[in-house]
Structure 1
Amino acid sequence: MSGHHDVHSGVHSEHGASAGEHSGRARNPVVKVLDLAWLEFEKPDLDRAEAFAHAFGFATALRTADGLQLRGTDPGSPCVLIRRAARSRFVGPAFRAADAADLRRLAEATGARPVPLPEALGGLTVDLADPSRLRVRVVAGTHELASLPAQQPHLFNFGHDLVRANATQRPPRAPARVQRLGHVVFQTTRYRETLDWYLRNLGLIVSDFLYYPGQRERGPVMSFIRCDRGAVPADHHTLALTLGPSNRYVHSAYQVADLDALAAGGEYLREQGYRRSWGIGRHIQGSQIFDYWRDPDGFMVEHFSDGDMFDCTLEPGWAPMSASGLAQWGPPATKDFLGLEPGVESLRELRAIVGALRRDNEFDLRRLRGLLKVANS
């Protein structure tokens, strides 16, 4: 078909931005964080939250009357902290600084001050607010949890390369054991301002930009952002930001051993009565094999495996955004994943669109047209 753009090719450019476009990194960031440490939520029913967490593949690191800490099998911090509250709410992320000196440098640059974290976590935090008014913690010196027994990946016979003989493959239909927290995705009405805030203050760098078809000259509307560890490869994205009519959590992602763990774990979740949002498939940006679920409080969470790892030398890729461009293979993106499923969430987003168009922010009428075009692509 003449003029058709193949969303499955040419999506990462080694040449980076064109003249005048965003470079995808700050020249002199205040600090360079190493990774996500954890995510914090509030939920009214900790028993219900813990039951889903165990079915999803977390282990409980700590349970009190008013709090829950969930962890993966990797050593380090808990992945998720949940505090009992009257309503469900995403509180914010915590990023790990290299050391206390970086924490002090960040505090001096922002006018914040390091304060002690609860004894169960240890260490210090500098609490900031990004331009979307999301609380962002940067932590150092926290307690390190020892590793737990990990789910072992399977041996595969690839083509004629025989590594398994006289043995069957029988992945158990059991929870996929979460290894670690991989990334979190936010939507913001002030995308460019928020993006620059993370690059400037936390030293993150962009792996891929997406723009609305026909609107590249207006700049990107989504970015997949990784930690800058120099020559040490980091996850393709630790944070992803997307422009939209409201400031909100979109989803978070947790690594598991392999496709069998992800698929068999998904069958276990389905049998327990939990709701898949979208999957199983393989993404384009990041290349992860993915499977998305909704927890009982409506938060979207992802199992992933086999994601891209980039060092600091790769420049950002640029690609048009489309629903069909979200995956290389797998079922079409669902209405639930795209936020189009009729219900409370889609009604809330519709109201947010009306409000956003009345306010001074980056989500204007032309951006709305671009978003609707993406949703129907």
Structure 2
Amino acid sequence: MASGLRKARNAREWSQERLVREIEGYARRRLTDVATTASLRVYVSEWENGKRSISDRYAVILRQILGVTDDELRGAPAVVSPVATDGYDALLSRIDSARSVSGSMVQTFMDQTELLRTMDRQMGAASLVDQMAGHLARLEEALTFAVLPDARRPVATALAGAASLAAWQALDSGAVERAWRHYELAKRAAQEADAPMYLAHAMGEQAYVLRDAGRPEMAVDLVRDAQKVGGQRLSPRLRAWLYAAEAELCAGADRPDDCNRALERAAQCMPGGEDARDPDMLSIFLNEGHMVRWRGNALALLGDEAAVSDLYTALDVMDPTFVRARSGLRCDLAQAHLARGEYAQAEEHLRQARLLAGRTGSVRHRRRVDLLTGRL
């Protein structure tokens, strides 16, 4: 119990006093009563030292604030209740329920994933941890007890998309092991659904876990494997997305020639027009404006002074609802200005990035802000 709360708090670089203020702020926004400040200070200390159990009421608040699951918060492994050996009635009931999952129900699952994606884009992942966990649990339940392939494939496709989103949210919240496990779930679901686009996308995003963990070369290998797995069944926009991801990962691995080749391939694959959504892969947002930002990001990582022009162009055209992405773009601009020795401009972009990262609860972006701040 103690290690879970303390680990989540430390990931955000919060003191116990800051956590108390966050609890009080949450209570004010939600018109919820909590203990006095003095009592909350005692509670936090006792929760972390294992002297007091976290009540369900406070666990709800802490999960929303910290963006962790209940198991991560309490530091307890998930408990799976097996079906009793004589529980055939219960088993058949679940199988019958899974059989009743119609096409409209699968579409409802996918619509819910899309809603969570939209909320994540604007609000960040931390406040959605309970909704995302429940959504995944319902999809896994439906797939576990679906019997025949025709019933399993559409549910598996929906699960692949939801698990990839949950993984990206976990990565943003600093829960890297949860992110990795969700990507593995997404890949298994995509393989069962015979959905190479979903599989390639999950692999491409999973490469960022490796990059952030300090394995840039392995990350490059994984995103290239994703391109091979998709083969000719990838949509042009997803293929461009994978090449752009390869370019960014190559830049992080200090491979400028490979980065530039990947950027050229991405540009060649990009469909024309202003549309950003891929109708076959709704998690993909990519048009020329996004591509300019990605090119600027890669050049900034390489220390190329030319990155500034692309990044300001991307800032001008970025959709204002992409709050978390705007934080990343501000980090890119700070990095680009640092490469030019323009410290005042870099400091201003880092200030903006920190505010946006705080707004969305992005641990990942906060870490990057802190890293770049150390170079001022």
TM-score calculated relative to the size of structure 2: 0.27
TM-score norm. by structure 1 comes to 0.27
* Greater helix share, structure number: 2
Bigger radius of gyration among the two: 2
